[in-house]
Amino acid sequence: MIIMKTDATPEQVTQVVKEIKKYGLRADVSKGKYRTIIGLVGDENKAPFEHFATFPGVKEATMVEVPYKLISKEYSKFLEDEMEHSIIKVGDIEIGGSEPVFIAGPCAVESHRQLLRIAEEAKKAGAHILRGGIFKPRSSVHSFQGLGSIGWEEAREALAWLREAGERFNLATVTEVRGETQVDLAAEYADILQIGSRNMYNQDLLTKIARTKKPILFKRHFGAGIEEFLSFAEYIAAEGNKDIILCERGILPIGKGKNYTRYTLDLSAVPVIQKETYLPVIVDPSHASGRRDLIFNMCCAAIAAGASGLMIEMHYNPAEALVDAQQAITPDELKEVINTCREIHKLTKPRKNEES
Ligand code: PEP
Ligand code: MN
């Protein structure tokens, strides 16, 4: 990381960037309110820090110790005071801002009628963003894979429904991209692109999706440690896309015998990640617990832990859902979750600010 002096000129920044490229590295230039900082992207063994430090306009060149350099607090602290937490804007929605953001919708988009009805209910309940899977990652090839898996025409049609539902009810939209070939199509229609848990490690997909410049909802793999999770988020940031919404969605349960939940919701990951990076963290209690009866409590707990938002599966008739029927909540339950979480947020937010 190269920290420029507050009075460094744009020409001096350009000169440093050129020098970095000579070494086969890429430069991540961030302009703060007071100064510019330049992150080096690539093989760190190739970087002659002492050499860069001698350039005019450079205050210092230092090594960021953590592997997730560009998204770390260590990096952002040199930019400006406000970079404690970044805010990701999607239309007039702010993720990581002063209010929690609620994402709701079906696990899978099944029909025009289903999606429009759920979107209307989500809006009425107070949600900001509509979710809906069109390319579904499934454990069995013999189960419904999402409309997008049928063919490109079906994928485009379902994506158009998502956009239509979003526009009609003034909701932003998010959908998962499962493979590289789906990226451009999904980016045409959705406001936010999701990387599912199973794809957290897919670095080619991360690079490709980052280049769309869309905000990315990035889910933690159920077997990944926090450092590993953040290190893979860095692949998105390395393409110059820092609009990354990190999502805790449960990790593999331990021990023998029944655990009674689908995964184990790692709630301490929320404040830990907030200390490590400036990116917003949200929680998905639906996939973590896999149980409708636990969603309300897990949502409350996630907001109390400091989450910037929640992603919740909702259906007007959960039993009818083709995928994850056992964990979808009803519109009334969603409304109760949102209203209660807003109250909890009011109580816990001041403490969070005091600490940071
Ligand atoms: C989803 O959000 O639709 C999903 C499949 O979640 P995960 O990748 O966390 O399992
Ligand atoms: Mn699901």
Q: How far apart are the first and last CA of the chain?
A: 23
**121 shares its domain with 55:** no
Same domain, 200 and 269: yes
Q: Is residue 272 part of a domain?
A: yes
DSSP string, 110-163: --HHHHHHHHHHHHHHT-SEEE-BSS---S-TTS---GGGT-HHHHHHHHHHHH
Residue 196 Cα to ligand 1 middle (Å): 5
pLDDT of residue 323: 97
pLDDT at 199 over 70: yes
**Quick check: helix, strand or coil at residue 50?**
helix
Residue 48's pLDDT band (cuts 50, 70, 90): confident
Question: Could you tell me if 172 and 281 lie in one domain?
Answer: yes
Q: How far is the CA of 287 from the centre of ligand 2 (A)?
A: 6
Q: What atom of ligand 1 comes closest to residue 107's alpha carbon? A: 3
Residue 36, domain CATH:
3.30.70.1140
> What ligand is nearest to the CA atom of residue 198?
1
Nearest ligand, CA 286? 2
Does residue 71 fall inside a structural domain?
Answer: no
Distance 217 CA to ligand 1 centre (A): 11
How remote is the CA of residue 19 from the centroid of ligand 1, in Å? 42
Same domain? 181 vs 306 = yes
Helix H or strand E segment including 104:
strand 101-105
Span 116-148, pLDDT tens digits: 999 999 999 999 999 999 999 999 999 999 999
Domain identity same for 55 and 131: no
Residues in the chain: 356
Q: Which ligand is nearest to the CA of 263?
A: 1
Average pLDDT over residues 61-85: 85
Closest-CA residue, ligand 1 atom 4, reads 196
- Decide if 78 is inside a domain: no
- What tens digit of pLDDT does each residue of 284-336 get? 999 999 999 999 999 999 999 999 999 999 999 999 999 999 999 999 999 99
pLDDT at 46 over 90: no
Q: What percent of the chain has pLDDT over 90?
A: 90
Residue 219 CA, closest ligand 1 atom number: 9
User: Among 197, 245, 315, which is best to mutate for testing ligand 1, by the most ligand atoms less than 8 A from CB?
Assistant: 197
Say yes or no: 194 and 138 in one domain.
yes
Considering the domain architecture, whether residues 102 and 221 belong to the same structural domain is answered as: yes
Does residue 194 sit within a domain? yes
Q: Taking residues 166-190, report their average pLDDT.
A: 98
Q: What is the pLDDT of residues 5-18, one digit of tens each?
A: 999 999 999 999 99
Structural domain for 10, as ranges: 2-63
Higher pLDDT, 129 or 349: 129
Q: For a substitution probing ligand 1, which of 107, 145, 198, 287 has the most ligand atoms within 8 Å of its CB?
A: 287
Q: Which atom of ligand 1 is nearest to the CA of 194?
A: 2
Number of domains present in the structure of the chain: 2
Residue of 249, 266, 315, 327 best suited for mutating to test ligand 1, as the one with most atoms within 8 Å of CB:
249
Place of tokens 């979710």: 131
Say yes or no to pLDDT of 100 above 70: yes
**What protein residues have CB closer than 5 angstroms to ion ligand 2?**
107, 324
Tell me, yes or no, whether 267 and 312 share the same domain.
yes
Domain with 192 in it: what CATH number? 3.20.20.70
Kindly identify the ligand whose nearest atom is closest to the C-alpha of 194: 1
Residue 49 pLDDT = 85
Average pLDDT over residues 60-89: 87
In a domain, 82, yes or no: no
The average pLDDT across 177-204 equals 98
pLDDT at 356: 47
210 and 153 within one domain:
yes
The answer to whether 136 and 322 have CB atoms below 8 angstroms apart is no
Q: Given this model, what pLDDT does residue 355 score?
A: 52
Distance CA 110, CA 96 (A): 30
* Claim to verify: residue 9 and residue 93 sit in the same structural domain: no
Residue (of 196, 173, 193, 172) closest to 183 by Cα position: 193
352 has pLDDT over 80: no
Report residues whose beta carbon is within 6 angstroms of any ligand 1 atom: 107, 133, 137, 176, 196-198, 219, 249, 284, 287
Q: Contact at 8 Å (CB) between 240 and 270? A: no
Pairing of strands 309-313, 101-105: parallel
Residue 267 within a domain: yes
Residue 73 lies in a domain: no
Residue 108 in this model has a pLDDT that exceeds 50: yes
Instruction: State residue 32's pLDDT score.
Output: 86
In the chain, % of residues over pLDDT 70: 97
Q: Is the alpha carbon torsion for 252, 256, 262, 268 positive or negative?
A: negative
119 and 9 in a single domain? The answer is no
Indicate the helix (H) or strand (E) that contains 335.
helix 331-355
Residue 353 in this model has a pLDDT that exceeds 60 = no
Residue 69 lies in a domain: no
Instruction: Point out the domain boundary residue: 48, 63, 78.
Output: 63
Question: Which are the contacts of 203, defined by CB distance < 8 A and separation ≥ 6?
Answer: 232, 235
Distance 38 CA to ligand 1 centre (A): 34
Answer whether residue 33 shows pLDDT above 90.
Answer: no
- Mean of all residue pLDDT scores within the chain: 95
| Residue 27 sits in the same domain as residue 107 | no
